[in-house]
């Protein structure tokens, strides 16, 4: 059986069903075979798995506990992939902690959290600096590359009113198209208080002169975006912040259902002041947020004392499409921690040779 995340997208329902069905088969295979069973090569000869290779030498993580952290459940999949690698090097994984981003950074610096795979290198710069920066924390590798974020509106309203840029919402008549509570202002589905994107949105509402015409709706993002999707399905205009990878882009498809809005020029909070227009541009538009990468952020003392784990942090990476595909499975109901762990096990099984190589190289550094 071969399972390949990279073959699947969820741009149409049949593809989404195919992904879910194939993932289920892969998970069944992982459960039936066990992660430590012997692999067999093309000639029928048995080969060593990562666990056998690791036990042939001293396990670098023997007796060492690791506490992972994340901020939203959609980040648990990428966390569990890292956990699997650490487990196979002998580390004991404690229960992951779910914390808001600012607290997550502080707790990682203080050692309450060992690592998080949910650090956005540019977006979270202020959290990083305020938590002790390079003296307390270490950013390693490029775990998920080319992550995007910005503002979107529905395609129909964009075309009917020729809306292409966020600053067009300065016009009260344009803003009123997106009014959902009757106050005449556009309602922007935005970020949770305490998220890095909150700082950017609040800055840009001031910078682009939108305070009088746009209301930043905040609360639990996933509850707000569910309401936004419902309004779209009812034929109403929508205005919202989003990012990739995320299941929302599989429900509201870019270029079909929705479109990115540009910003008039790049302007970001002080911690990101050096970011250029080139660095905030993607798909031919200035999205206003830096095209970012998610990296593994770890406690500095742990990094200094655990070269094998640090090397693994540097090596491990997951394609952005695989994250989006797994997030869609969560949206379809496979969202318990146990199911998410199974998704991670299936991903590792599908990428076994690559994953084994990361483990072997990491162990060799101790």
Angle, CA of 246, 247 and 248, to the nearest 5°: 90
- Digit-coded pLDDT (tens) for 255-304: 999 999 999 999 999 999 999 999 999 989 999 999 999 999 999 999 99
Phi, psi of 189 (to 5 degrees): -70, 110
Nearby residues of 243 by Cβ (< 8 Å), 6 or more positions away: 147, 148, 149, 150, 197
Please check whether the two domains, 65-145+293-364 and 147-286, share a CATH topology: yes
Which class does domain 147-286 fall in? alpha beta
Mean pLDDT of the region 137-160: 97
Domain boundaries, the chain: 65-145+293-364, 147-286
Nearest to 9 by CA among 325, 323, 246: 325
Average pLDDT of the segment spanning 297-312: 98
Residue 335 has pLDDT above 80, yes or no: yes
Report the 10 Å Cβ neighbour count for 87. Answer: 17
Q: Give the model's confidence band at 52: pLDDT under 50 very low, under 70 low, under 90 confident, else very high.
A: low
Cβ-proximal residues to 112 (8 Å cutoff; 6+ apart), any chain: 67, 97
Contact status, residue 314 vs residue 82, Cβ threshold 8 Å = no
* Domain 65-145+293-364 -> CATH class: alpha beta
Distance CA 269, CA 200 (A): 6
| pLDDT tens profile 4-51 | 444 333 333 333 333 444 444 444 444 333 333 443 443 444 445 555
Phi, psi of 263 (to 5 degrees): -110, 155
Q: What backbone torsions phi and psi does residue 120 show, to the nearest 5 degrees? A: -90, 120
Is the pTM above the cut of 0.85? no
On the question of pLDDT at 55 being above 80, the answer is: no
Q: Rg of the Cα trace of the chain?
A: 22
Per-residue pLDDT, 49: 52
The better pLDDT of the pair 24, 156 is held by 156
């Amino acid at each position: 059986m071969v399972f390949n995340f990279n073959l699947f997208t969820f741009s149409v329902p049949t593809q989404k069903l195919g992904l879910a069905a194939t993932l289920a088969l892969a998970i069944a295979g992982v459960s039936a075979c066990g992660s430590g069973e012997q692999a067999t090569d093309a000639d029928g000869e048995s080969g060593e798995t990562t666990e056998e290779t690791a036990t042939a030498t001293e396990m670098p993580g023997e007796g060492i506990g690791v506490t992972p952290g994340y901020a939203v459940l959609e980040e648990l999949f990428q966390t569990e992939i890292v956990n699997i690698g650490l487990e196979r090097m002998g580390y004991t994984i404690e229960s992951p902690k779910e914390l808001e981003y600012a607290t997550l950074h502080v707790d990682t610096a203080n050692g309450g959290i060992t690592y998080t795979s949910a650090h956005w290198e540019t977006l979270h710069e202020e959290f990083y600096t305020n938590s002790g920066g390079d003296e307390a924390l270490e950013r390693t590798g490029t775990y998920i590359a080319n992550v995007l974020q910005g503002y979107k509106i529905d395609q129909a309203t964009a075309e009917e009113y020729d809306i292409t840029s966020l600053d067009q919402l300065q016009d009260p008549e344009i803003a009123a198209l997106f009014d959902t509570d009757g106050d005449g202002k556009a309602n922007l589905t935005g970020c949770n208080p305490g998220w890095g994107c909150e700082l950017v949105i609040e800055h840009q509402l001031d910078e682009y002169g939108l305070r009088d015409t746009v209301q930043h709706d905040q609360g639990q993002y996933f509850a707000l975006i569910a309401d936004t999707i419902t309004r779209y399905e009812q034929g109403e205009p929508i205005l919202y912040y989003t990012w990739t990878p995320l299941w929302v882009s599989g429900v509201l498809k870019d270029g079909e259902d929705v479109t990115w809005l540009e910003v008039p020029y790049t302007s970001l909070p002080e911690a990101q002041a050096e970011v250029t227009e080139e660095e905030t541009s993607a798909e031919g538009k200035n999205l206003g947020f830096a095209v970012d990468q998610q990296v593994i952020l770890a406690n500095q003392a742990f990094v200094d004392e655990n070269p094998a784990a640090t090397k693994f942090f540097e090596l491990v990476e997951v394609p952005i499409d695989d994250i989006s595909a797994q997030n869609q499975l969560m949206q379809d109901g496979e969202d318990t921690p146990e199911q998410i762990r199974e998704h991670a096990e299936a991903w590792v099984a599908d990428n076994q040779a690559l994953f084994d190589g990361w483990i072997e190289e990491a162990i060799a550094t101790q």
